[in-house]
Amino acid sequence: MAQYTPMIQQYLKIKADYLDAFLFFRLGDFYEMFFEDAINASQELEITLTSRDGGGAEKIPMCGVPYHSSAGYIEQLVEKGYKVAICEQTEDPKQAKGVVRREVVQLITPGTVMEGKGVQEKENNFLVSLAEDGKGYAFAMTDLTTGENGAAAVDTIEGVINEIYTLGAKEIVVSSHFPEEALAKIKERCAAAVSIEDQDEPDEASEALSSHLSDTGLKAAFSRLYRYVNRTQKRSLDHLQKVTLFQLNQYVKMDYYSKRNLELTETIRAKGKKGSLLWLLDETKTAMGGRLIKQWIDRPLLSKKEIEKRLGVVEVFLEKYFEREDLRESLKEVYDLERLAGRVAFGNVNGRDLIQLKKSLEKIPGILDLVSSLDNEYTSEMAQNIDPCEELRALLEHALVEQPPISVKDGNMMKDGYHQELDQYRHASRNGKTWIAELEAKEREITGIRSLKIGYNRIFGYYIEVTRANLQHLKEGRYERKQTLANAERFITPELKEKETLILEAEEKMVDLEYRLFLELREKVKQYIPRLQSLAKCISELDVLQCFAAVSEKRHYTRPIFTENALHIKNGRHPVVEKVMNSQEYVPNDCVMDAEKEMLLITGPNMSGKSTYMRQIALTSILAQIGCFVPAEEAELPLFDQIFTRIGAADDLISGQSTFMVEMLEARNAILHATDKSLVLFDEIGRGTSTYDGMALAQAIIEHIHEHIGAKTLFSTHYHELTVLEEQLARLKNVHVRAVEKDGKVVFLHKIADGAADKSYGIHVAELAELPAELIKRAQEILAALESGAENDKPVPAAAPQALSEADEQLSFFEAKEVKPNREAQKEKAIADKLKKLEILEMTPLEALNQLYELQKKLKS
């Protein structure tokens, strides 16, 4: 290293502490990057790579971005998941002996950005920390832009991944000892940057925010997060709020797959909000409400009391249309109080932000009156919590002019009368300027030169200017000559210079003083941060509830009624499909599931509406449990503890993950964790493998849920053969989506009816898809042949035959009859294998008897 120049040595020393970040090294008006950083940044940012001498044998790769336009480049890198360390010159280059001192003043990371494209108005930006203690995981989160903090204990790594997914966290902080295997899983599934922080001792500030947490693990996880933010951001974190303890068992559990499959906050294919439940519901008027509604959708409630509270307010808003409209109008004017509080603490607010704050606060008394006037137990409770922060509003009104400039360093922000000394300077400056204006008039008069004028520039200050043509009218020695221009002459007088000194002094003092006053004002506003944050909470809740009412009214939703166990939906609709269907009529459907019939086996042709129907039941339950009305004529619903949605891999085209293994993993999770209070949607499970395999698995899954879980289950299948299960499983019922054949073509009615579909219509769909007519005809022939010899094809006992190989299956398709003996033999072999493997000595006589019975039954079937 010794051969490098001192500056490069300084660079390398600083870089050693920020190996996982791009180091933006300030050099005059540029941020420069060197070595690897330069090569990578030039590619990522598409900027020119150059090189410079650094004292070593070879030139050093280098690239740079201008300081004044650096924000965009930083944003780009952070958006791509990188970290950027901002290294500034921390002493005046003129004063420096040797290399100017430089320090990293901030590390900008995906989880800590405060501004720019990465910070969407209606989205939180969560940073997460994790700790593992052998039993489970402690999970903490913060949103630096809003100051929200939370912590939760999570049992499994799957649970952790779910939370990271739900929060959309872009960065995760762990200790360097965090178990590698778990970290690898997280990295595989979540697109989040990983950062290391080994400190997890609380300091005074983090203790103040987390002292109420009794769990030491959670406290440590939060401290780790706090330490990390503190170390990287190096500035005030006064806006961070007390840590909210999330008891995950107070919310409906939905894992990553279910949320994704139900398209709650983003669609599967486009990954955007459009087309999701959030997109349908979000008619909030404030950014705060926009973030809260997403949080609510992600965490439906279990407590009937809490749900009824929300529904109660929605109902009031529905009744009071005019009040609601007024409220919506007022909410439009309310600025993002949470983010504002964050920027106040961070020291990024300007006069305009504070004026926005004032304008927002001006709306609060009206909102408060309105909410109080609704005269309802729930809204009255909300009204009590609305704090208009009147003193703050008055302070801002008193202090700031209506249209302050963007910069806080150029003055002109404070009102006259706010501060006596400032008023005096302003007075002096204004007086001086009046004097100069008067002087101009007077001199014109005396000299008779109409075009004489008094001007100002930074170098010469005030001067009197006379055009060359008029110089002859000027009495020699009247003014002192200062500067000669091409066609004018500039002069000064001692009096003018005297006034100039007064004016400039006053102005300089004025600007300094105003800046100081602004900082003082900002400090005062800081004191209000906690009150502004709790006001923000009230406003965002009101906003979400008015939005529920607005959507419920527009789309004719009804208030759900909660039952112990039964589900009864009359004329239900899929909220999102209904919205996007435009002109076509959505066909409403009923759904009945209760203790007698808790499983529905849904058959029907492709494209008839099976998936839509299942999802509409799940979405209806979710809407109900977040406290919104539901898309149905009548809805009686149980409170579900968990919702599972699984889609057969053949239907799931996402990012090459559509393997049968994923399908089974997803199914496993549901089967392991569902209870009799859960809702399970299995959409064509078993499709991702060969027919007999798939059918056997599907049947075994249905039996298992029926016998051991008792969850409300909707199971759609194209294995028509499964419909005979209705005879064996008491609480299973067949339903189908109706389709009719008209002129040899299939017409989908999208209507659910009792019983099994009479056939599968696959070929009709192929016809709709306009496959060649000849091919369709041939398929019809093959089908007829298959059906005429298909008696033995009826349901296959679950545990029975071994998987047929690909080749076998192909064969069976064309020469069904010949293959059958083969299948019989396979079945016998499977049973014999099972018999061989039985550990007779380990079994009780009863178990042995049972096994024998089972095997015999299979052999006979």
Whose Cβ is closer to ligand ADP: residue 161's or residue 587's?
587
Whose Cβ is closer to ligand ADP: residue 227's or residue 574's?
574
The first and second tokens of residue 536, run together, are 């923000």
Q: Does residue 615 contact residue 258 with C-beta atoms inside 8 Å?
A: no
Q: Which amino acid is at 240?
A: L
Q: Is 632 in the site for ligand ADP (CB under 6 A)?
A: no
Choices 214-222, 398-406, 600-608, 640-648; region in contact with ligand ADP by CB under 6 A? 600-608
- Host H or E run for residue 305: helix 304-319
Choices 51-59, 127-135, 346-354, 608-616; region in contact with ligand ADP by CB under 6 A? 608-616
Q: Which long-range contacts (CB under 8 A, 24 or more apart) does 315-324 make?
A: 315/549, 315/559, 316/374, 316/376, 316/378, 316/379, 317/545, 317/546, 317/548, 317/549, 317/550, 318/549, 318/552, 318/553, 318/629, 320/374, 321/553, 323/370, 323/373, 323/374, 324/546, 324/549, 324/550
State how far the Cα of 786 lies from the Cα of 804, in Å rounded to an integer. Answer: 18
The first and second tokens of residue 702, run together, are 């249905």
From the list 236, 229, 8, the residue with the least C-alpha distance to 102 is: 8
Q: How far apart are the first and last CA of the chain?
A: 81
CB of 759 to Mg ion, least distance (A): 17
CB of 737 to ligand ADP, least distance (A): 6
Residue with structure tokens 């150029």? 410
Which residues face 350 on adjacent strands? Answer: none
Whose Cβ is closer to Mg ion: residue 21's or residue 681's?
681
Q: Is 363 in the site for ligand ADP (CB under 6 A)?
A: no
Q: What angle do CA 647, 649, 652 make, to 5 degrees?
A: 70
Neighbours of 721 (CB within 10 A): 17
Q: Is 797 in the site for ligand ADP (CB under 6 A)?
A: no
Q: Is 611 in the site for ligand ADP (CB under 6 A)?
A: yes
Q: Dihedral sign, CA of 343, 349, 352, 356?
A: positive
The first and second tokens of residue 144, run together, are 């630096």
Instruction: From the list ligand ADP, Mg ion, none, pick the one residue 604 interacts with, judged by a Cβ distance below 5 to 8 Å according to partner type.
Output: ligand ADP
Residue with structure tokens 């008394």? 365
CB of 625 to ligand ADP, least distance (A): 23
Choices 59-67, 124-132, 531-539, 604-612; region in contact with ligand ADP by CB under 6 A? 604-612
Instruction: From the list ligand ADP, Mg ion, none, pick the one residue 586 interacts with, judged by a Cβ distance below 5 to 8 Å according to partner type.
Output: ligand ADP
Site mask, ligand ADP, residues 286-325, x = CB under 6 A?
A: ----------------------------------------
Q: Is 647 helix (H, G, I), strand (E, B) or coil?
A: strand
State how far the Cα of 163 lies from the Cα of 128, in Å rounded to an integer. Answer: 10
Identify each DSSP E strand in 226-310 by its residue range. 244-245
Q: Dihedral sign, CA of 662, 666, 667, 669?
A: positive
Choices 195-203, 599-607, 727-735, 794-802; region in contact with ligand ADP by CB under 6 A? 599-607
Nearest to Mg ion by Cβ — which residue?
611
Whose Cβ is closer to Mg ion: residue 765's or residue 803's?
765
The first and second tokens of residue 778, run together, are 């041939």
From the list 618, 627, 639, the residue with the least C-alpha distance to 258 is: 618
Whose Cβ is closer to ligand ADP: residue 320's or residue 610's?
610
CB of 573 to ligand ADP, least distance (A): 7
Whose Cβ is closer to ligand ADP: residue 452's or residue 607's?
607
- # of chain residues touching ligand ADP (CB under 6 A): 13
Query: For residue 819, which phi and psi values (nearest 5 degrees)?
Result: -75, -25
Supply the DSSP symbol for 606: T
The first and second tokens of residue 170, run together, are 């872009």
- Interface residue with ligand ADP among 61, 159, 604, 801 (CB under 6 A) is 604
Instruction: From the list Mg ion, ligand ADP, none, pick the one residue 612 interacts with, judged by a Cβ distance below 5 to 8 Å according to partner type.
Output: ligand ADP
From the list 331, 243, 320, the residue with the least C-alpha distance to 535 is: 331
Instruction: Give start and end residues of each alpha helix (H) in 199-270.
Output: 204-210, 216-233, 256-262
Q: Is 621 in the site for ligand ADP (CB under 6 A)?
A: no
Q: Going by DSSP bridges, is the β-strand pair 712-716/679-683 parallel, antiparallel, or unpaired?
A: parallel
Whose Cβ is closer to Mg ion: residue 269's or residue 481's?
269
State how far the Cα of 61 lies from the Cα of 50, in Å rounded to an integer. Answer: 6
- Interface residue with ligand ADP among 15, 610, 646, 720 (CB under 6 A) is 610
Name residues contacting ligand ADP, limited to 562-581 (CB under 6 A): 577
Whose Cβ is closer to ligand ADP: residue 42's or residue 606's?
606
- Interface residue with ligand ADP among 125, 258, 612, 812 (CB under 6 A) is 612
- Host H or E run for residue 62: strand 60-66
Q: Is 76 in the site for ligand ADP (CB under 6 A)?
A: no
Question: For the purposes of burial, counting CB atoms within 10 Å of the CB of 770, is it exposed (0-12), middle (13-18) or buried (19 or more)?
Answer: exposed
Site mask, ligand ADP, residues 721-760, x = CB under 6 A?
A: -----------------------------x----------
Q: Going by DSSP bridges, is the β-strand pair 193-196/137-143 parallel, antiparallel, or unpaired?
A: unpaired
Site mask, ligand ADP, residues 149-168, x = CB under 6 A?
A: --------------------
CB of 668 to ligand ADP, least distance (A): 23
Whose Cβ is closer to Mg ion: residue 379's or residue 611's?
611
Q: Going by DSSP bridges, is the β-strand pair 712-716/599-603 parallel, antiparallel, or unpaired?
A: parallel
Q: Is 831 helix (H, G, I), strand (E, B) or coil?
A: helix
Choices 388-396, 438-446, 582-590, 841-849; region in contact with ligand ADP by CB under 6 A? 582-590
Whose Cβ is closer to ligand ADP: residue 202's or residue 275's?
275
Whose Cβ is closer to ligand ADP: residue 300's or residue 572's?
572
CB of 802 to ligand ADP, least distance (A): 30
- Interface residue with ligand ADP among 608, 620, 690, 723 (CB under 6 A) is 608
Whose Cβ is closer to ligand ADP: residue 720's or residue 750's?
750
Nearest to ligand ADP by Cβ — which residue?
609
Instruction: From the list Mg ion, ligand ADP, none, pick the one residue 587 interacts with, judged by a Cβ distance below 5 to 8 Å according to partner type.
Output: ligand ADP
User: What is the binding site for Mg ion (CB under 5 A)?
Assistant: 611
CB of 736 to ligand ADP, least distance (A): 10
Identify each DSSP E strand in 723-817 by its residue range. 732-742, 745-754
Q: Is 609 in the site for ligand ADP (CB under 6 A)?
A: yes
Edge to edge, the sheet with strand 599-603 lists 643-647, 679-683, 712-716, 599-603, 732-742, 745-754
Q: Is 587 in the site for ligand ADP (CB under 6 A)?
A: yes
Whose Cβ is closer to ligand ADP: residue 227's or residue 610's?
610
Q: Which amino acid is at 760?
A: S
Whose Cβ is closer to ligand ADP: residue 379's or residue 606's?
606
CB of 617 to Mg ion, least distance (A): 14
- Residue 534 CB contacts under 8 Å (≥ 6 apart), including other chains: 385, 387
Q: Going by DSSP bridges, is the β-strand pair 126-132/171-174 parallel, antiparallel, or unpaired?
A: parallel
CB of 104 to ligand ADP, least distance (A): 53
Instruction: From the list ligand ADP, Mg ion, none, pick the one residue 694 interacts with, judged by a Cβ distance below 5 to 8 Å according to partner type.
Output: none
- Interface residue with ligand ADP among 354, 414, 607, 671 (CB under 6 A) is 607
- Interface residue with ligand ADP among 124, 284, 360, 606 (CB under 6 A) is 606
Where on the chain is the footprint of ligand ADP (CB under 6 A)?
Answer: 577, 586-587, 589, 604, 606-612, 750
